A = this chain, B = another copy of it.
């Protein structure tokens, strides 16, 4: 086990009656709020009006920035930073899923900085110093952005999707009301659930680094939670128990606890970010297509026991199988779960993706060298995995 630091000071209000505390929490940071949100779903659901009423009751003045894209654009971030400066905003409030929260984080980092362009922060031409406080109201379980210190932003003209990583953008306060996710469509519920699982797979579960046995066990239980409750949420969208378990699993899959002591790049996330950058697909869908192919590609005598263990613990695979056979059965069962049980399309071809950009995507994925994970992936490996996904 590597030494590690665990430090996650985000304060989380969890439950169906907690939004009542939104105004008082925002007021601790000042009086001027930038409200960041995405498409029109929060207007349709009435949440937009409810938030405005809560903020008005608390005597807060609000500037709004709506229309944040899935795979949020750097131009939207820059627009938000201009608003913060012009209005003297004290605190940035994100109401939405991971894209909205990531956009809000990036705005909060850019507004007080020396640049007008968040891309300067991402590429190191300017540094993140002071960051405006960030508060979130989560409406979609998946990305884990609500408790983590990272924001993923897309630069469409350059086909780039990159992370701004610093504990300074970790939300100060997060509101998680599972009833707010009852209206999330099936496709987004499925993709969010896959995203939760991917964080555990990619960041820590499939690793050759030593880690604490307790954490491996806990990772498996969070995975089993998603495998159990995601289909329930698809069948019965308003099932509060399923929504609550998925929401809390989302936060804990990425709030650093499960990663303690493991350092790897997250092979599937690196490969998927290229996909989203070029094709603007839903992150969790790209991951669903990649993960089973990636596992099959890296399956050998060294990785099979761990892949098989995951299958035994989480997917009812027969423990008595030989490791290779058990690992193969596991990748099939996982593909079945993603593509049949959760119902997301199984191939790049289904998404209209062909191989024309694979070479460029692989070049960028490996621009700092091969991807470090349980198996190091070169540029050629990345292309080979992409081809398996067609």
Contacts and interface: CB of A to CB of B under 8 A. Distances in A.
A217 B224 contact: yes
A212 B244 CA distance: 7
Nearest to A11: B7
Copies of this chain, whole number: 2
Please indicate which of the listed interface residues A15, A18, A212, A228 has the most CB atoms of chain B within 10 Å of its own CB: A212
Interface in A137-170: none
A217 B241 CA distance: 15
A46 to B, nearest CB: 20
A144 to B, nearest CB: 14
Nearest to A213: B245
A8 B251 CA distance: 14
Interface in A254-277: 257, 260-261
B6 A14 contact: yes
A241 to B, nearest CB: 7
Contact of A17 (B3, B213, B225, B252): B3
Contacts of A17: 3
A14 B8 contact: no
A225 B221 contact: no
A261 B213 contact: no
A315 to B, nearest CB: 15
Given A9-B9, A221-B221, A249 B14 contact: no
Contact of A214 (B5, B215, B221, B257): B221
Interface string A235-251: 00000010011001100
Nearest to A220: B221
Contacts of A220: 221
A6 B12 CA distance: 5
Given A2-B15, A244-B1, A261-B14, A249 B7 contact: no
Interface string A37-68: 00000000000000000000000000000000
Please indicate which of the listed interface residues A8, A222, A257 has the most CB atoms of chain B within 10 Å of its own CB: A8
A328 to B, nearest CB: 27
A322 interface: no
A349 interface: no
A10 to B, nearest CB: 8
A13 interface: yes
A230 to B, nearest CB: 12
A211 to B, nearest CB: 10
Sorted nearest first, the 6 A-B pairs with minimum C-beta distance are A3-B15, A9-B9, A217-B221, A7-B11, A214-B225, A6-B12
Given A7-B10, A213-B245, 6 more contacts: A3-B14, A5-B13, A6-B12, A7-B11, A8-B9, A214-B222
7 contacts: A1-B15, A2-B15, A9-B9, A212-B244, A213-B245, A214-B221, A214-B249
